[in-house]
A and B are shown apart, each in its own frame.
Chain A
Amino acid sequence: MSAHADTHDHDEHEHHHKETFVTKYIFSQDHKMIAKQYLITGTIMGVIGVLMSLMFRMQIAWPEEPNILFEALLGKWAPGGVMDADIYLALVTIHGTIMVFFVLTAGLSGTFSNLLIPLQIGARDMASGFLNMVSYWLFFLSSVIMVISLFVEAGPAAAGWTIYPPLSALPMAQGGSGMGMTLWLVSMAIFIASSLLGSLNYIVTVINLRTKGMSMTRLPLTIWAFFVTAIIGVVSFPVLLSAALLLIMDRSFGTSFFLSDIFLQGEVLHYQGGSPVLFEHLFWFLGHPEVYIVILPAMGLVSEIMASSSRKPIFGYRAMIASILAIAFLSTIVWGHHMFISGMNPFLGSVFTFTTLLIAIPSAVKAFNWITTIWKGNLQLNPAMLFSIGFVSTFITGGLTGIILGDSALDINVHDTYFVVAHFHLVMGISALYGMFAGIYHWFPKMFGRMLNKNLGYLHFWITAICAYGVFFPMHFIGMAGLPRRYYTNSNFPLFDDTANANVIITIFALVGGAVQLVYLYNFFSSIFFGKKTVQNPWRSTTLEWTAPVKHIHGNWEGDIPHVHRWAYDYSKPGHDVDFVPQNIPLKEGEEELQH
């Protein structure tokens, strides 16, 4: 099944074609360079997204108080330094959009799928380097448009990252639903095109370009995760594209897909026969799988790092694959749990409760398998490993409250409160971010040939870990007091006055947590140029990327592509002197490959 490293491939590599600055660093078709481009673009978008969250957190903690920072950064949206209610909603909206799509989808999956798929399966590059380049540049274009949308006259999109119509469809309903929303939709349409090109490339590469001996059951879990993620993306992103196109129709061409019977600002609008509930279905048909598009790659990275750093095989390799597949399948039939109280038939609510709670089973299997992986290990607590352990911790904390939100009877009362905000930030926001950080700390030497400073990494992890819990743990309790999300200020509800202090504490944790990311940014950018030079296999891992030379070469390996003789997790295998046996080492005489 696996493709052979044929000689033609080899020849092409030998025959060096001259690369100019432009083809090497800008319009590069090399997967390693594209991975770096994704990472750096994602990082810049991440900085914008995090800054926005810090601003609206300050507004929640000290509502309607003049803040000199707001005046400086928001200009006309903060007259006298008091944040405007419209821009509050815009900040919340764009923060969500940027973090979910631009950082945790493109930044995470785009970076590591590109970097690791060819290197770990033993391929010279992606199946189509050209499509890969187009995919990145479409992502870049959509990022630029999203950033431009922040500066339009009437304000950026402000209908929440879920952009439910009619609010998002009618410029009269909200300033942000004018040009800002148009740019949002255009940006997302381009983003989806980028994501689809990327995903198709990943799928084709994994199926066709595995080196000799790399059967599907010898693939590292990272590749399984990227592969399945790409499939979910291909299945669900087109549906969001159709929703976006129909919304553009409703907004600009007078159709009524999502609109009906609306009276706004003294006049009856012509729309008739559409339904906002239809949009909710279309949106969440992507929107829910999207959280797995975000979390599955993080799970893959963490599985790999945990095995390598524990010097132990990942526990239950087949169960891990089965649970990835189960999660992927279930993820496409649970979207209705976002809509229990949308006015959809209550019977459907029952069905979605059932399917949703089933997801807890593969998730629990994964969590227990990770814990068992570190049991009786020889844990090398590198920053990457700390972030991996942190990932499991926040994934459990955030995941458990899912059994409340997935239960329709309970969702009635906590829907759209801060309980939900706490839940999804821990389980897919912080967890996926930890997965991304873990991946960066682990594969930085592969990407840049230098090491990150581990002591700065420790500082970064521990303060981030404390702040993440400090922000999102008390938030559950604020939600349990009934406080709705997306309120510009709570001061009109004396009922919630007793949560005000907690909101201040949360904001302080958020500010500290935000500031400590500077440590990371420093470490990242200075290590690219001045970090300690790395050895070829600094973590003593078994996977193929560490058999490639440190210096990036077009085609990844000098000479032949290595062949694979064993699975990816021969750590501390009895009968070997060293505690890891790379995949390209043939079995010893009499040695049996583990029938995992």
Chain B
Amino acid sequence: MTAFLTIIIVLFVAVAIWQMVKIFDLAQVGDDANTGVATDKDNTMNGYLMIGFLIFIYAITIASFWYLGDLPLMSNSASAHGPQVDNLMIISMALIFVVQTITQFLLHYFAFKYKGEKGKKALFFADNNTLEAIWTIIPVIVLSGLIIYGLFTWSNIMNVDESEDPLVIELYAQQFNWKARYAGEDNTLGLANVRLIDIDRANILGLDESDPNAQDDKITTELHLPVGQPVLFKMRSQDVLHSAYMPHFRAQMNCVPGMITQFGFTPTVTTAEMRQNPDIVDKVANINKIRIENSETILASGQDLRYEFDYLLLCNKICGKSHYNMQMKIIVETQEEYDAWIKEQATFKNTIN
């Protein structure tokens, strides 16, 4: 019944808007001058509105920077390659900002300045090779710079230097959670395939029990990383596509069933250090203020009211119903803390039934 009433109400609102428009429309019936073609008066009005709209574009730009301008994806990266990415991002953004400001100005200002008047004649100006050469060559030069910078950064990130002896960790995705598998003493992950999964025997990741490398592997539900140590992630998925997204580390790679993908980086800032970072302190304070305002709903949902900063691994490829809550906490800590933690984790050999 409420459903029916709601539909009726929505229909009435639609009809009301419709009728108001109709009144507006009918009010102009006697107006024979309204042939549907713009008059000088229309041109003038819309010309001024163009300037108003230009101001609106600038205003929404400024407002967005003012309220949402902490841009966590451009500052305070927590990985060795992060600052390179951030630099490239800042350069690209600055360029975009300049081009956007100028071209929007020209477009809207011309629309205002050259608004039509009866009797005026436009300039017959069909072509100018010099002008066109200029605005072909300038983008070519600028983009060449960006392409070269981008490609160096990209190959720098994607080429994992095996000689640095990275810590090998598997990220294992399934609907709708993450697991991490540490390679153990030998730093070599044991062979695995989802066909070997045996839930009854607690072989939840499908490790090959006969592989000696698998025996000392450790499976965890939190991701701990020692600071300053290069890490090489090997990604696997059990069911559908997922994407391992670690925004603070400027890292992301899809997890694809049937293949192993990889991504490597070196974390440079521990969780404890990041919590002390003035920008993060501000951000957390702001978030906590918002949370207190909404405390009722947050407490009702069973979450902690107070937010404390943590690095996160998020799923960033649509993977089904609970995609929106597929996350794992990442903790970056000192080598000693990490050693102590990893020692407490049980090896595969000891957990299998």
Contact = CB atoms under 8 A, between A and B. Distances in A.
B315 to A, nearest CB: 8
Contacts of B88: 407, 409-410
A317 B126 contact: yes
A596 B64 contact: no
Contact of A532 (B24, B35, B254): B35
B353 interface: no
A424 B68 CA distance: 20
B14 interface: yes
A571 B135 CA distance: 24
B35 A451 contact: yes
A341 B256 CA distance: 11
B71 interface: yes
A19 interface: no
B201 to A, nearest CB: 14
Contacts of A235: none
B143 A361 contact: yes
Interface stretch (A31-39, A99-107, A133-141, A452-460): A452-460
A403 B96 contact: yes
B110 A374 contact: yes
Given A263-B238, A393-B104, A474 B34 contact: no
Contact of A409 (B21, B123, B153, B323): B153
Interface stretch (B50-58, B163-171, B225-233): B50-58
A524 to B, nearest CB: 11
14 contacts: A69-B6, A85-B321, A275-B256, A346-B155, A377-B123, A382-B37, A397-B104, A410-B88, A410-B150, A454-B37, A474-B63, A481-B68, A489-B324, A500-B290
B71 A481 contact: yes
Contacts of B235: 343
Contact of B43 (A315, A381, A491): A381
Contacts of A596: 126-127
Given A346-B155, A379-B111, A492 B64 contact: no
A173 B175 contact: yes
Contacts of A315: 125-128
B323 to A, nearest CB: 7
A487 interface: yes
Contacts of A489: 324
B350 interface: no
Interface string A361-379: 1001101111110111111
Nearest to B197: A263
A515 B195 CA distance: 53
A539 interface: yes
B42 interface: yes
Nearest to B96: A400
B29 to A, nearest CB: 9
A410 B35 CA distance: 51
A431 B7 CA distance: 32
A309 B32 CA distance: 22
Interface stretch (B112-120, B181-189, B212-220, B266-274): B112-120
B36 interface: yes
Contact of A262 (B89, B254, B257): B257
A-side interface size class: 35 or more
A484 B122 contact: no
A131 interface: no
Contacts of A534: 36
A455 B35 CA distance: 11
A312 B124 contact: yes
B254 A343 contact: yes
Contacts of A493: 312, 314, 327
Contact of A404 (B93, B99, B132, B318): B93
A417 B96 contact: no
A249 interface: no
Contacts of A277: 256, 259
Contact of B206 (A263, A274, A412): A263
B10 interface: yes
The residue among B69, B121, B251, B261 with the most chain A CB atoms within 10 A of its own CB is B121
A52 interface: no
A167 interface: yes
Contacts of A349: 154, 158
Interface string B151-181: 1011101110000000000000001000000
Given A396-B104, A454-B34, A482 B73 contact: yes
Given A164-B318, A397-B104, 5 more contacts: A380-B43, A389-B107, A453-B28, A491-B297, A495-B309
Contacts of A531: 36
A160 B323 CA distance: 12
Given A72-B3, A409-B88, A346 B154 contact: yes
Interface residues of B, number: 139
Given A260-B257, A261-B258, A310-B122, A407 B73 contact: no
Interface string A69-91: 10111010000000001100100
In the complex, the 8 A-B pairs of residues with the closest C-beta atoms, listed nearest first: A451-B36, A260-B258, A477-B68, A346-B158, A482-B247, A343-B261, A72-B6, A409-B153
Given A396-B104, A491-B301, A360 B143 contact: yes
A27 interface: no
Nearest to B236: A261
A465 B146 CA distance: 31
Given A315-B126, A349-B158, A259 B100 contact: no
A549 interface: no
Interface string B246-289: 01001111101111010000000000000000000001001100
Contacts of B100: 396-397, 400
A406 to B, nearest CB: 9
Contact of B111 (A314, A374, A474): A374
Contacts of B287: 494-495, 497-498
B114 A376 contact: yes
A412 B99 contact: no
B351 interface: no
Nearest to A359: B143
A491 B124 CA distance: 58
A405 to B, nearest CB: 10
B71 A381 contact: no
Interface in B131-147: 131-132, 135-136, 139-140, 143, 146-147
Nearest to A450: B36
Interface in A85-124: 85-86, 89
B61 to A, nearest CB: 7
Nearest to B240: A167
B175 A268 contact: no
A474 B256 contact: no
Given A71-B3, A378-B117, A498 B36 contact: no
B74 interface: yes
B243 interface: yes
Contact of A276 (B60, B92, B123, B256): B256
Interface string A476-504: 11101110101111111111011111100
Nearest to A260: B258
B341 interface: no
B319 to A, nearest CB: 6
